[in-house]
């Protein structure tokens, strides 16, 4: 496609205001890629890290990896996708734009029953929740789980999927409003971060839980270990409060032969089959009404700076989406 398109890019590191509208050449798909006309873009924390310099990127840079849209052009080796098909992905590049490129193996078709905004909102947080509770630790009805930041994006989806599995879920949150959200997503117990380990031990008759999902990191890690049963699993998957310092493995022995893992989405979406399985389950749950995706705010693409400000203010009660 030989024409220009609108995009939002950063040409310097800094505050949200460095996100600026720009006009660039529409990209051409490589052999195994497709070109997609953007319908909606999912905004993620990683883009704020790239903008502010925490994760280095080469400037000028167009952020964004998650989006939904309609395929308009195919690379010469792509046979499994048609022009005109609606697709969603968590692993495209530069999706803060009117068109984006994605590897044909890394996108899935969107069913008619799922809207563009929901389809853009679900891939990254949804597949994260899916791999955490099905693959990192396969939660069953007999398990009791602690899920931190239960009113957040990953947390909100995970709680609903855990409820559908029949597990007992204890969520942590920071405010009354978030407590209501976590209950509405299916938590059995909602506790605050202060003394949460004591509360968890009280709720479980001092037994502890089978697995803790911890994305808060530095502030919660030690107490999360204390919440676990013997041979329980600690799943550390983020560091919203800061990264966890180095750990002496002896500690896992002293606290009851614990398991510790630090997983990441890329390692759980290695193949097209794996992505199709996870996204298929998520779309099926949305269609069946057992999973509600909360799109909290929709901003115009040219106003991506406001989306970043909103995310960084810890205000989100669901997904932030951009539309061109
Ligand atoms: P959330 O919507 O969950 O936002 C983060 C939440 O963390 C906040 O809303 C807040 O909820 C809680 N929190 C606790 N302490 C702090 C703090 N000191 N500063 C800021 N927030 C804090 O974000 P996402 O759903 O997008 O992501 C959740 C986590 O999962 C992130 O840490 C992210 O990096 C990680 N992640 C990891 C992946 C992986 O594969 N490893 C993939 C995707 C995301 P509250 O106010 O209730 O405490």
Distance of alpha carbon 268 from the chain centroid:
13
Q: What is the mean pLDDT of residues 163-187?
A: 96
pLDDT in tens, 45-89: 889 989 999 889 999 999 999 999 999 999 999 998 999 999 999
Q: What six digits make up the tokens of 162?
A: 């855990």
Distance 216 CA to ligand 1 centre (A): 6
CA angle 59, 60, 62 (to 5 degrees): 110
| Residue 23, SS3 per DSSP | strand
3-state secondary structure of 227: coil
Where do you find CATH 3.40.50.720 in the chain?
125-266
| Ligand 1 midpoint to CA 220 (Å) | 12
Any ligand 1 atom below 6 A from CB of 41: no
Mean pLDDT, residues 9-14 taken together: 97
Count other Cβ atoms within 10 Å, centred on residue 186: 19
65 ligand 1 Cβ < 6 A: no
- Residue 2: the pLDDT is 65
For ligand 1, say whether the CB of 298 is within 6 Å of any of its atoms: no
- Of 122, 130, 51, 134, the C-alpha closest to 90 is 122
Query: Ligand 1 pocket, 50 CB below 6 A?
Result: no
Q: Can you tell me the distance from the alpha carbon of 298 to that of 198, in angstroms, rounded to the nearest whole number?
A: 39
Rounded Cα distance between 120 and 297, Å, is 13
CATH code at 4-122+293-323: 3.90.180.10
> Which residue lies with its CA nearest to atom 32 of ligand 1?
238
170 Cβ below 6 A of ligand 1:
no
Q: Which of 148, 154, 176, 266 to mutate to test the pocket of ligand 1 (most atoms within 8 A of CB)?
A: 154
Integer-rounded Cα Rg, in Å, for the chain is: 20
What's the predicted TM-score (pTM) here? 0.94
Please give the distance, rounded to the nearest whole angstrom, from the Cα atom of residue 289 to the centre of ligand 1: 25
Indicate the Cα dihedral angle 172, 174, 179, 180, nearest 10°: -140
The two tokens of residue 170 are 């204890």
Pocket flag, ligand 1, residue 39 (CB < 6 Å): no
**Ligand 1 centre and the CA of 152: distance in Å?**
6
Using the predicted structure, report yes or no on whether residue 283 has a pLDDT greater than 80.
yes
Q: What's the confidence (pLDDT) of residue 1?
A: 64
Contact by Cβ (8 Å): 101, 92: yes
For residue 241, which atom of ligand 1 is closest to its CA? 18
CB 149 within 8 A of CB 125: no
CA-nearest residue for atom 31, ligand 1, is 238
Domain with CATH 3.90.180.10 in the chain: 4-122+293-323
What pLDDT, on a 0 to 100 scale, did the predictor assign at position 318? 84
DSSP designation for 92: -
Give the CA-trace dihedral at 208, 148, 225, 194, to 10 degrees.
Answer: -90
Closest CA relative to residue 187, chosen from 238, 152, 220, 217: 152
ipTM above 0.95, yes or no: yes
Q: Tell me: pLDDT of 137 over 70.
A: yes
Q: Which residues of 33-59 are buried (b: 16+ CB within 10 A; e: fewer)?
A: bbbbbbbbbbbbbebbebbbeeeeeee
Q: What is the pLDDT of residues 233-276, one digit of tens each?
A: 999 999 888 889 999 999 999 999 999 999 999 999 999 999 99
Ligand 1 pocket, 152 CB below 6 A?
yes
Q: Buried b / exposed e across 229-246, counting CB within 10 Å, b at 16+?
A: beebbbbbbbbbbeebee
What number does CATH give the domain 125-266? 3.40.50.720
How confident is the model over 109-129, as pLDDT tens digits? Answer: 999 999 999 999 999 999 999
CA of 117 to the centre of ligand 1 (A): 21
Which residues touch 241 (CB under 8 Å, ≥6 apart)? 216, 217, 218, 219, 220
- CA atoms within 13 Å, Cβ hemisphere of 305: 13
Burial class (CB in 10 A: 0-12, 13-18, 19+), 220: buried
């Amino acid at each position: 496609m030989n024409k220009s398109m609108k995009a939002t890019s950063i040409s310097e590191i800094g505050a949200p205001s460095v996100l600026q509208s720009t006009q660039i050449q529409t990209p051409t798909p490589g052999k195994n890629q497709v070109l997609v006309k953007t319908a909606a873009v999912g905004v993620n924390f990683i883009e704020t890290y790239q903008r502010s310099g925490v994760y280095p990127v080469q400037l000028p840079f167009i952020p964004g990896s998650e989006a939904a849209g309609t395929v308009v052009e195919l690379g010469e080796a792509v046979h499994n996708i048609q022009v005109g098909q609606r697709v969603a992905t968590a692993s495209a590049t530069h999706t803060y734009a009117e068109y984006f490129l994605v590897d044909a193996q890394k996108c899935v078709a969107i069913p008619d029953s799922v809207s563009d905004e929901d389809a853009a909102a679900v891939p990254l947080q949804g597949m994260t929740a899916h791999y955490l509770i099905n693959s990192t630790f396969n939660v069953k009805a007999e398990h009791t789980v602690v899920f931190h930041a239960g009113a957040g994006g990953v947390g909100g989806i995970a709680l609903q999927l855990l409820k559908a599995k029949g597990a007992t879920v204890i969520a942590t949150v920071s405010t009354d409003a978030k407590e209501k959200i976590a209950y509405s997503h299916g938590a059995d117990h909602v506790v605050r971060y202060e003394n949460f380990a004591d509360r968890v031990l009280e709720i479980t008759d001092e037994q502890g839980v089978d697995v803790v999902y911890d994305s808060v990191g530095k502030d919660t890690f030690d107490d999360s270990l204390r919440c676990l049963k013997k041979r329980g699993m600690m799943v550390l998957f983020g560091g919203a409060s800061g990264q966890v310092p180095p750990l002496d493995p002896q500690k896992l022995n002293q606290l009851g032969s614990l398991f510790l893992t630090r997983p990441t989405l890329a390692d759980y979406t290695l193949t097209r089959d794996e992505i199709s399985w996870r996204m298929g389950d998520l779309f099926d749950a949305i269609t069946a009404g057992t999973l509600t995706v909360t799109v909290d705010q929709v901003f115009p693409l040219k106003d991506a700076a406001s989306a970043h400000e909103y995310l960084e203010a810890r205000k989100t009660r669901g997904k932030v989406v951009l539309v061109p």
